[in-house]
Structure 1
């Protein structure tokens, strides 16, 4: 994983595990966040990420830390 994706991975871990409210979000009952809303809120908070980068982080992460929902629209920490 390149440096940019590593930074995004760390940011996603922080948001999904500890501070979803820091970008105005709340995990659903299954622990997921909507990917598009996550990207929109992260960008509004000063981060520059895309949904493609989020999905690349999920695909490339060696420890399978993240899970996408079956339809690929939500993300959570495994």
Structure 2
């Protein structure tokens, strides 16, 4: 994983495990966030993240740190 994806991975870990409220989001009952909302809020706070980068980070971890729903619309930490 390149440096940029590593930074995104650390950011996702912070948001999904610790502080979703720091970008104005709240985990749902199953501890998921909507990927589009996550990307939009992250970018609004000065980060530069795309949906494709989120998918790369999810796919790039073994063992998995994150999980996307089957349709790719929601993400959570595992």
TM-score over 0.5 for the pair: yes
Shorter-chain TM band: over 0.9
Structure 1: stretches of 5+ with no match in the other structure: none
Structure 1 residue aligned with 2:27: 27
Matches within 5 A, 1:55-66: 55-66=55-66
Query: 1:53 & 1:44 partners in 2: Cα distance?
Result: 16
Q: Is 1:50–2:14 an aligned residue pair?
A: no
Q: Which residue of 1 aligns with 2:16?
A: 16
Distance 2:70 2:28 in 1: 15
CA RMSD of aligned residues (A): 0.6
CA drift of 1:33 comes to 0.3
Segments of 4+ in structure 1 off by > 4 A? none
Aligned length: 78
Shift of 1:61: 1.1
How far residue 52 of structure 1 moved from its aligned partner, in angstroms, is: 0.4
